[in-house]
A and B are shown apart, each in its own frame.
Chain A
Amino acid sequence: MQHDQDSTSTLLEQVNHALNHAIPLCIQGSNSKAFLGRSVAGEVLDTRCHSGIVSYDPTELVISARAGTTLTEIEEVLEAAGQMLPCEPPHMGHGATLGGAVAAGLSGPRRPWSGSVRDFVLGTRVITGRGKHLRFGGEVMKNVAGYDLSRLMAGSFGCLGVLTEVSLKVLPKPRECLSLRLEMDVHEALSELAEWGQQPIPISAACYDGHALHLRLEGGEGSVQASRQRLGGEEIDSAFWQDLREHRHAFFDNTTPLWRLSLPNNTAPLDLPGTQLIDWGGAQRWLKSNAEGELIHRVVMELGGHATLYSNGPNPFPPLTQPLLRYHQRLKSQLDPLGIFNPGRMYAEV
C-alpha cells in the first residue's frame, strides 16, 4: 500500500456516487475485523488509499492520521518517541488500519485501567450521509463544543459515516513493565482482583486463563518492584499480553464458537457450558461454547452485561431493546438518510 496519500477527493467522489445512485457501501480497510458483525452487501469502499500520519507532536500527546494508516505504522512512530496507544487496539490480522480499529472500537488488555479506544479519540474527520467531508472534535484534550460525534463514531462499525482521519490522545510508555504468573483458582483470582482494585497497585492487565492469574505491572521502578515483592509468583514474558490481545493464546485455538462477554468486573465465575478465559480483571470474558445463543445472551444480560458472537452469524450482537433500537434507527436515518453506510453491519434494522 502507498504511504502518505491524501485521497479525500476519491473517497468523497465514491460516496457521492453511491448517494446519487443509492448504492450501499461496504466500508473496509484491510478487512481484519470482517469476522465481527453481520456481513454487508455493497460496493467496497477501501480506505487504504487514504493513509499517512498527518501530524504528531509528542509533547502535545496527540497523533492524527488518515483512516487507512496501518496500526503498525502508528505504533512504530509512537514507539520511537517513547509513547503508545494506551488502549492497545487489537490488530486481528495483517495491515489493520486506524480507521478500522476506531470503527470497531475494540480495546486491548489495558482497557479497564487506561480507557477504551473511544476514550482516546479527540477528533475525527468524517464523510457524511449528505456527502460532505466534515471535522468534529480536534487535537486538544478538552473540547466540549457541540455534540461529541467523534466518540460516537468509535465502535459504530462505519454505520454512521466514513471515518477519514482520527486524532488520538497518546501517552508516554511507563518506565517499568513486568508481568507475573500466580497459580490460584478462579474464585481466589477474582476476589484478589476485587481487593487489589481498591488499592494503588500499578496493575495494567489481568487475565485468568483457567490455571493461573496473569498480571502486568506498569509504572515507575519503585511501585513496580514493590508490588512484585508483595504479589510473589513467577515472572513471565510481557509478550503474553500481545498474544492475548491478538487471540493467539492456546485458549482461542479451536473451532468452537467464540463469544465475548462484557460484564461488571466483580461478576462471579459464570456457570455456562464450555471453557472460559477471563480478561480485563474480570470485565471481559471469552467463552468457547456450543451453547444456544439465546441462553448465553440471557445469562449475561441478567448479570448486567452483554454477549457478542465473534463470527458473522445473522445476529452476532446482543439484541437492542426498545426504545434503544428505535433511537438507533432514528440516529441512523438522520446521519445516513439513504442508508448507504455499512447497512445492517451491526443490526439488520440499522
Chain B
Amino acid sequence: MNILYDERLDGVLPKVDKAALVTELQQLLPDLEILHTQEELTPYECDGLSVYRTAPLLVALPERLEQVEELLKLCYRRKVPVVARGAGTGLSGGALPLEQGVLLVMARFNRIIEVDPNGRFARVQPGVRNLAISHAAAPYGLYYAPDPSSQIACTIGGNVAENAGGVHCLKYGLTVHNLLKLDILTVEGEKMTLGADALDAPGFDLLALFTGSEGMLGIITEVTVKLLPKPQVAKVLMASFDSVEKAGRAVGNIIAAGIIPGGLEMMDNLSIRAVEDFIHAGYPVDAEAILLCELDGVEADVQDDCDRVKEVLETAGATEVRLARDEAERVKFWAGRKNAFPAVGRISPDYYCMDGTIPRRELPGVLKGIADLSEEYGLRVANVFHAGDGNMHPLILFDANQPGELERAEALGGKILELCVKVGGSITGEHGVGREKINQMCAQFNSDELTLFHAVKAAFDPSGLLNPGKNIPTLHRCAEFGAMHIHHGQLPFPELERF
C-alpha cells in the first residue's frame, strides 16, 4: 500500500495542463515568483519527513496577500489542487507536494505586524517563525508559549495548521489554546476571520476547527497569538531510575501531589546514551530512565515545588535526583533532551520518529509492547516522551540502504501507533496525520466517524482541492487497509517504493 498519492485509493485528481497554468499565472500575476523547472522543484519535494518525496507541479512564492487570493481563485476556476507550506519542517508529510498540484509556500509572509503588551497579543503573518514571536515580545517580558522542538525554523502558519505542541503543553497548552484570531482565505479565495481580538467570537468555534486541520479547510494568512508573562524563574530536576516503570509511576505521583510542572520529560537508556555521547549533558548513562522536571513561576513557589517534587521522586525510587545548580546547567539538561533526535541520528544511519499519545497509566504496558515489537521486527527503538502529557516519541532506528529496513521500520511504526489506539490513545499527539499516518487513521476512527470528517471537509472545500490525500483517508483506502490486516505474517507495505 503505497503511501504516496494513489488515485485508486485516494480519489481521482483533476488533470492539470501545466503549460497553460503557468502561462495564465504569469499573465495574471507577473510579479509572482513561480518555480516550475525540474531543478527548481527538487528542493521542495518533501517536508521534514524526507523519506516521502514528490515534485510538485509548480511552486508559488507569493509576497502579497492579493497574489495568494488571485492564485487561489485561478486554481479554483481551473480545478488545480493546492498544498500550502510554511518552512516545511513538519514531520508527517502534511506539506508533501502533489504532482498535479501547486505548492503554495507562505514563508515570505514573515512580518510581525504588531506586538501589543497591554493587550498581551501579537499579530503576525503566517511565515513568521515561532521563536521570532517570543523574541519580539521579550522586551515587554512576554513570550509565546508553545515551543515545538523545531521552533527556530518552523512558522506560525504551520504551527496552526498542525496544532503544534512542544515540551510545555501540560501547563501552557497547545497552539489551539494560545490563539485569538486567524485570517484565512477560503478555497475560493474569499477572506474570512475566525476568532477575534476578544477572548471569544460569535457563532461556532471555527478557530478551534481550523487549528490542526492541516491545510484542508483554508489557507492561513494572518495569526493573532496570545502572549504570556515570562515565568520569573525556572528550575530543573533530573531524576535517574533503574526501571522505566518506576519513572512512569513517578510522573503520576508528581501530578497526584498537585503539581503541574512546566515540562516533564522522560528518556530511556538508549536515548540517554545517545544524547550523552553527543551533547555531554551530564546524563547518567547507566540509568534505565531519566525524568527531567521543570518547575517555573514565581520564585517562592518554585522553590517550594522543587522540594515537594524531590521528595516525590525519591519516594518513587529514584536512584539520584539532581537540581540544576544554575542557569547554565539547566540549559545543559534541556539541551540533551532537545537534541535527542539528532543524537539518535548519530547512532543509526536513519531513524523514524513516531508521535503517539497514551493515558499515562498505560506507559509501562506500552513500553513493554514496544520492546516486544522492536524484537519482532529486528529494529532498535529509542524512547523519548513528553511524559507529563502522555505523548511518546519512539524513534525507530534503521538503515535505509539495507533492503527492506525502511519498510520494516514503517510497519513497526504502524504497529506502535495501533498499540497507542488500543490503550485509549491517539496515533498523533502533535505531529499531525499528514500523509504519514493516513492508514493508521483507519485504526483510530470507524467509517461513520471518517464520513463525518469528510462532511466537515465538504462544508469548506467541496471539490477537495485543498491538500488532497492528507489527514482523512477515504473509506476505500481504509477498506484496503482493513483487508491488508487479514494477511498475517506479510509485511503491510510490500510494494512500497524505496528512496
Contact = CB atoms under 8 A, between A and B. Distances in A.
A262 B258 CA distance: 32
Contacts of B120: 197-198, 265
B204 A328 contact: yes
Interface string A125-161: 0001010101110111111111111011011100110
Interface stretch (B71-79, B275-283, B449-457): B449-457
B301 A219 contact: yes
A141 B391 contact: yes
**B: interface residue count bin:** 35 or more
Contact of B209 (A144, A148, A317): A148
A171 B173 CA distance: 13
B414 to A, nearest CB: 14
B297 A148 contact: no
Given A145-B437, A146-B445, A175 B258 contact: yes
A294 interface: no
B361 A60 contact: yes
Interface in B392-444: 424-433, 437, 441, 444
Contacts of B299: 222
B444 A145 contact: yes
A50 interface: no
A111 interface: yes
A60 B359 contact: yes
A182 B458 CA distance: 53
A: contact size bracket: 35 or more
A149 B230 CA distance: 32
Interface in B440-482: 441, 444-446, 448-449, 451-453, 455-460, 471-472
A194 B389 CA distance: 32
A226 interface: yes
B441 A146 contact: yes
Given A175-B258, A200-B298, A152 B204 contact: yes
B197 interface: yes
Interface stretch (B102-110, B162-170, B313-321, B490-498): B162-170
A155 B388 CA distance: 28
A333 B390 CA distance: 36
A59 B256 contact: yes
Given A142-B389, A143-B357, A323 B186 contact: yes
B338 interface: no
Nearest to A330: B459
Interface in A153-192: 154-156, 159-160, 171-173, 175
Interface stretch (B44-52, B111-119, B128-136, B340-348): B111-119
A222 B298 contact: yes
B232 A200 contact: yes
A220 B426 contact: no
Given A59-B361, A146-B445, A335 B201 contact: no
Interface stretch (A4-12, A24-32, A112-120): A112-120
A293 interface: no
A199 B141 contact: yes
Contacts of B202: 306, 308, 317-320
A264 B118 CA distance: 10
A47 B165 CA distance: 35
B428 A144 contact: yes
Contacts of B255: 58-59, 61, 172
A346 to B, nearest CB: 7
A97 interface: no
Main secondary structure of the interface of A (DSSP, over half): loop
Interface in A290-307: 304-306
B242 to A, nearest CB: 22
Contact of A306 (B201, B229, B359, B430): B201
Contact of A136 (B177, B429, B449): B449
A87 to B, nearest CB: 12
Interface in B191-225: 192-193, 196-206, 208-209, 211-213, 216-217
A221 interface: yes
Nearest to B460: A327
A262 B256 contact: no
Interface in A304-339: 304-306, 308, 317-320, 323-324, 327-328, 330-331, 333-335
A62 B255 CA distance: 12
B349 interface: no
B304 A222 contact: yes
Contacts of A346: 203
B460 A266 contact: no
A148 B176 contact: yes
Contacts of B388: 141
A141 B170 contact: yes
Contacts, number: 268
A132 B305 contact: no
Given A59-B252, A144-B433, A304 B300 contact: no
A60 to B, nearest CB: 5
A289 to B, nearest CB: 19
Nearest to A197: B120
A17 B480 CA distance: 34
Nearest to A190: B118
B198 A115 contact: no
B430 A334 contact: no
Interface in B280-313: 297-301, 303-305
B259 interface: yes
A132 B448 contact: yes
A220 B298 contact: yes
Q: Give the most central of A58, A141, A154, A305: most B CB within 10 Å.
A: A141
A219 B386 CA distance: 24
Nearest to A317: B202
B209 A134 contact: no
A86 to B, nearest CB: 10
A283 interface: yes
Contacts of B428: 143-145
A27 to B, nearest CB: 16
15 contacts: A128-B448, A134-B452, A138-B426, A141-B169, A142-B391, A147-B453, A151-B205, A172-B258, A198-B118, A198-B141, A262-B199, A280-B199, A306-B198, A320-B202, A347-B203
Given A140-B359, A262-B201, A330-B460, 18 more contacts: A116-B199, A118-B208, A142-B390, A143-B426, A144-B212, A144-B428, A146-B453, A147-B456, A154-B208, A198-B120, A220-B301, A220-B305, A225-B300, A262-B200, A305-B196, A305-B198, A317-B202, A328-B204
Interface of A: 57-62, 82, 105, 111-112, 115-116, 118-119, 128, 130, 132, 134-136, 138-149, 151-152, 154-156, 159-160, 171-173, 175, 194, 197-200, 202, 219-223, 225-226, 262-266, 280, 283-284, 304-306, 308, 317-320, 323-324, 327-328, 330-331, 333-335, 346-347
Interface of B: 116-120, 140-142, 162-163, 165, 169-170, 173-174, 176-177, 186, 190, 192-193, 196-206, 208-209, 211-213, 216-217, 229-232, 252-253, 255-256, 258-260, 297-301, 303-305, 357-361, 386, 388-391, 424-433, 437, 441, 444-446, 448-449, 451-453, 455-460, 471-472
